Structure 1
Amino acid sequence: MLEVTPVPTLNDNYVWLLHGRDRRHVAIVDPGEAGPVREALTAQALVPEAILVTHRHWDHVNGIEALLEDYPVPVYGPADEPVPARTQGLSGGDRLALDGLGLEFDVIGIPGHTRGHIAFAGHGLLLSGDTLFSGGCGRMFEGDAEQMLGSLDRLTELPGETLIYCGHEYTLKNLAFCEAVEPANADVIAEFRQRAEARLADEKPSLPTTLAEERRFNVFLRCREPAVRESAEARAGKPLPAASEVFAVIRDWKDRF
């Protein structure tokens, strides 16, 4: 399994360091801030080989140019979004080979949070940026409910054992919302809340979770479940025959939660 090191940045972001075959060489994922990343690289004597970017938001890209001053490496990011110092644009269906690390990733187009958002999947993990969180999903800044649900559906086609590495530590807040939407699933949600709380108490990320686990409690992946649909219909005060309508209601609910 690919080794991944978390670097907490800003308020609740994670930058992920993906270790290559010799561990010493790494790829940096979504560096929204340079200082903590530079400190982690120095402390562990790591050598960057590449920067990977899922989307253009400042808290995922603002550290790129400062890091390039010390580490002039290629920057891979979405082709349809402005990414600082990007050297190669990527779109869904592309395959990224990082030969120096011995790593390869499938690029998945997942618009909705932003128009050109991409994910990287390979070596048993998914780098989902701000589209799929543990217990949640990203806000729809540049897409609609049908598009965002389609992106999540695309991700759920991956194997259940896929490890989810997302961009933020939102797990406990998201689990509270999942319980509000689907109270009948409270026992399952409590199981994952306890694990997340234990990890955070140990000063570790609540992540990763697996895709199979997310299917058990993440209401945004469960909007076709009768209990989630019924809760959304009660919230909306009308029938919601389409899954995208259910998704739209619970996404709006989460925005106000």
Structure 2
Amino acid sequence: MNKVLGIDIGGTKVRMAIVGQGGELSLDETVPTKTPLYPYLEDQVMRILALHPEVDAIGIGTHGFVDPAKGKVIYATDILPGWTGTDLKEQLERATGKRVEVDNDANCAALAEAKIGAAKGKSRVVCLTLGTGLGGGIIWDGKLLSGGPHGGAAEIGHMILQPNGVLCPCGRRGCYEQYVSGTALNRRIQEAGLSINSRELFEVAASDPKARQLVQEFTADLAQGISSLQAIFDMDMVVIGGGVSESAALWWDPFMQQLEPLLLNPLSVKVAEFGNEAGVLGAALLIDGE
């Protein structure tokens, strides 16, 4: 990887950065997400390439189910209207004349942590991104485990944690995402009748029995999912990132207390090294990932 334009596409903003060989950023720019998205994205890319002809390739991480071999968005929710079915790789390679690689945004974050972040040097890694929802990425023998016939591999947030549980936007009940994400925490807080946000929940847990109970439930559910993942993958490490991880110092001890009795084998668990940069860094590393 020389100079790669890494692009992280979300529901409200598109972040673009030129990433060098050592992971350094020589340009870092964020623009609002607009629809229709593809022509707008192409315009933004062409503008940057005109200013930075040294860019060799383009890596893109996007919300939704992605076929990385074809670089096609198989399915995206209404967060990105009209994005489903977009032949992103084909169209952008034709427009730019440069190599383009595409994958799911959570997979890109996982790739960044595994290659140059908290799990550097580990060959089998599971990354969980606890944000508004729950994203996941799996590194298997140093490479992303992604794609599948429907672009849905490694959708960890949609493992069933609680059968017949809370309704998920995917249409099923009891998905892991509905118990350990920021949205899930806010729902638990509201159901408990507390007038606090998720950050405050962890801060007051030491003195408030209701808050402490919610933290126990959250950490137990997080631990249970990781235990199941270990039974499948026997990974070297789990990396936990996303907005909820920013307060990890406040809930890490009860979480590890819940996790350790559930493990089949010893497991290293770390907080992600990269914050908001993980998406663009991982997108750029798609070019290096073969």
Structure with more contact order per residue of length (Cα contacts < 8 Å, sep ≥ 6)? 2
Judge same fold: TM > 0.5, yes or no: no
- Per the normalisation by structure 2, the TM-score is 0.30
Tell which structure's C-alpha radius of gyration is larger.
2
